[in-house]
Amino acid sequence: MDIRNVLRGITSPLVTPFDGGSVDEAALVDLLDHVQAGGVDAVFPCGTTGEFPSLAPAERLAVIERTVEHADVPVVAGAAATSVSETVDAIETAAAVGADAAAIVAPYFTNANDPAGNRRFFEAVLESVSLPILLYNIPQCVGRRIEPETVAAIAEHDRALGLKDSSGDLAYFLSVMERTPDDFLCLQGYDAILVPSLRMGADGGINALSNVVPEVFREVVDDPRADRSRDLQADVIAPLFETCTTYDFAPATKTALVGRNVIPSDEVRPPLVSVDDPGAIESAIDNALAAADR
């Protein structure tokens, strides 16, 4: 299996279902069945939508292991951490249970005081691990973006697989595409600009709403230049994305999954809180599904 070719499609960054404060592994399996039936190419447990900061290390490992056991598609394990040693340990632990790749962010809380600091961090990690690595650019959570020059430098490393960009900055994304080799994957993580990015040459997407409507993302990625894909972006993905940004993605995505009868609970962990108006999410889902059926 060539993981690069697989990720030139749609990857679902899975939510982590909870039940009474504990990880609900049965619901995780149901979620995997749902997204795989919808046609996703890979799955990504323990990312932002998966509430990784709220999981204990043993829970993160259990989620990744259960995902690997049940998935029929490749698994990209979330391995975000703030130190080189902890990041390497998270990656190698995921590798030991069968993950196919890992995704890492720049250190958060203590941001690099110079872009060279992030480059040193990434290089130190890539020199010490056995899995292919996705860089994950999410400045709204980390505090600073991964500069295009840094991405271009890291792209030359043998372990560097690509970049997931969730910044929402299309100009930044296009700059990274322009500066990196063709075999370095540029994956759009901001659902609202998925089709424009694909039409501009993005390799694929890693999108939270593919938890909810994987079949829509499958269709969009298969033929992004079709009029139908433009309509799905405008009438299905964009309205759902706007609704989710109102409530935060993990809570809103879980509420939507409950509405589609995929998982039984919308429970999230502090500091997140559940959606206080699930009817708004359910209405958005109904409208989106009706638009997709047209």
108, 136, 190, 247: which one is catalytic?
A: 136
**Rounded to whole angstroms, how far apart are CA atoms 242 and 159?**
35
Contacts of 106 by beta carbon, 8 Å cutoff, 6+ apart? 112, 118, 121, 122, 137, 142, 144, 146
21: left (phi over 0), alpha (psi -120 to 50) or beta: left
Contact (CB, 8 A) for 122 and 137: no
70: left (phi over 0), alpha (psi -120 to 50) or beta: alpha
Pairing state between β 18-19 and 22-23: antiparallel
- The question of whether 136 is a catalytic residue gets the answer yes
**Rounded to whole angstroms, how far apart are CA atoms 286 and 284?**
5
- The question of whether 164 is a catalytic residue gets the answer yes
164, 172, 190, 247: which one is catalytic?
A: 164
Burial of 32 (0-12, 13-18, 19+ CB in 10 A): buried
Residue with tokens 């424009």: 196
Catalytic residues: 136, 164
